[in-house]
Amino acid sequence: MAKVVKLKKGLDIPLKGAAEKILISPETELQYALKPADFIGVFPKLVVKEGDRLKAGDPVFFDKNNETHLFTSPVSGTITEIIRGEKRVIHEICIESDQEIEYKGFNTANPLELTKDEIIKRLK
């Protein structure tokens, strides 16, 4: 099991100059994969199954130790395959993307009208 290291302070590295301001449009891929093994210390529990339709922002899996920690779909599309390993460990969740990405809508609210607990709940 990998050891999780939590950082308490950051480090500022002084660099001279600035990055070039070049913007390019990203190429749209047809296949995407979420790999829970990339997230150290996360024990995934699936929310979706093969054949489900997703919008970008829909939850795909969550951490068993912290159910409020959701991992969402980066694109809209269909779950084509869930690859499992030994002891049914989830290796990949494959998503075939749509040509046009649809995003999940989130309700907005005025923070001046919400209580402290409601704001914290929305941030989680």
Give pTM, 2 decimals: 0.70
The answer to whether 18 and 50 have CB atoms below 8 angstroms apart is: no
Establish how many alpha carbons lie within 13 A of residue 83's alpha carbon, considering only the half-sphere containing its beta carbon: 10
Tens-digit pLDDT profile for residues 62-112: 999 999 899 999 999 999 999 999 999 999 999 999 888 888 887 888 889
Q: Which of 80, 84, 103 is nearest to 92 (CA)?
A: 84
Evaluate if residue 52 carries a pLDDT over 90: yes
Query: What CATH number does the domain located at 31-103+111-123 have?
Result: 2.40.50.100
The answer to whether 90 and 84 have CB atoms below 8 angstroms apart is: yes
What is the residue whose two structure tokens read 């296949």? Answer: 31
Distance in angstroms (rounded) separating the CA atoms of residues 76 and 45: 20
Proportion of the chain above pLDDT 90, given as a percent: 54
Q: Identity (one letter) of the amino acid at 35? A: K
Quick one: average pLDDT of 45-74? 94
Q: What is the pLDDT of residue 1?
A: 60
Q: How many CB atoms lie within 10 A of CB 36?
A: 19
What kind and span of H or E run contains 121? helix 116-123
Q: Residue 40 has which token pair?
A: 């150290």
Average predicted confidence (pLDDT) for the chain: 89
Tens-digit pLDDT profile for residues 21-31: 988 877 778 89
User: pLDDT band for position 4 (50/70/90)?
Assistant: confident
